[in-house]
């Protein structure tokens, strides 16, 4: 769960995007349970630039730090994953996330529409 009104991740490495998305969804307990619009973002060379309590050893290079809007209601309160996805990241169309029965279905429908 987001506690500082934002989120951060490595910038353009390890499968993380180099172009910040418009929305971020968060899942735990096998379902998407939180969805937020990205209001603003900044790219920092080191996390301690934005979070002074982070040490240089913990920072690990450039990160994107997002400021998120309020939670967007999800159908039924959550969107089930559809299968065990562990910590995988998925990129999909927002309308598909909000209309498909599972996250796996939303991802497949998004891929089909983008083809």
pLDDT in tens, 18-50: 999 999 999 999 999 999 999 999 999 999 888
Q: What is the pLDDT of residue 87?
A: 84
29's tokens:
């307990």
**Within a domain: residue 103?**
yes
pTM: 0.88
**Cα 98 to the center of its chain, rounded Å:** 15
- Is 100 within the bounds of a domain? yes
Residue 85 lies in a domain: yes
Which pLDDT does position 114 carry in this prediction?
A: 94
Residue 115 CA: distances (Å) to CA of 21, 50, 108, 112: 19, 39, 11, 5
What pLDDT, on a 0 to 100 scale, did the predictor assign at position 49?
87
How sure is the predictor about 56, in pLDDT bands with cuts at 50, 70 and 90?
A: confident
> Exposed e or buried b for every residue in 88-111, given b needs 16+ CB within 10 A?
eebebbbebbbebebbebbbebbe
> Predicted confidence band at 1 (pLDDT cuts at 50, 70, 90)?
very low
- Cα(60)–Cα(62) distance, rounded to whole angstroms? 7
Is pLDDT of 4 > 80? no
- pLDDT (tens digit per residue) in 79-90: 999 999 988 888
Is residue 94 domain-resident?
yes
- Does any domain span residue 58? yes
- Which residues form the domain of 82? 6-114
Domain annotation covers residue 1 = no
Query: Under a CB-based contact definition with an 8 Å cutoff, are residues 61 and 13 in contact?
Result: yes
Give the three-class secondary structure for 87. Answer: coil
* pLDDT at 3 (0 to 100): 56
User: How many structural domains are present in the chain?
Assistant: 1
């Amino acid at each position: 769960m987001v506690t500082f009104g934002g989120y951060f991740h490595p910038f353009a490495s390890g499968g993380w995007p180099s172009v910040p998305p418009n929305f971020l969804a968060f899942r735990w307990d096998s379902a998407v349970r939180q969805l937020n619009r990205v209001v603003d973002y900044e790219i920092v060379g080191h996390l301690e630039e934005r979070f002074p309590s982070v040490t240089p050893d913990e920072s690990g290079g450039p990160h994107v730090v997002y400021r998120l809007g309020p939670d967007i209601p999800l159908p039924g309160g959550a969107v089930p994953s559809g299968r065990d996805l562990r910590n995988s990241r998925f990129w999909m169309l927002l309308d598909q996330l909000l209309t498909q029965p599972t996250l796996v279905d939303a991802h497949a429908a998004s891929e089909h529409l983008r083809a």
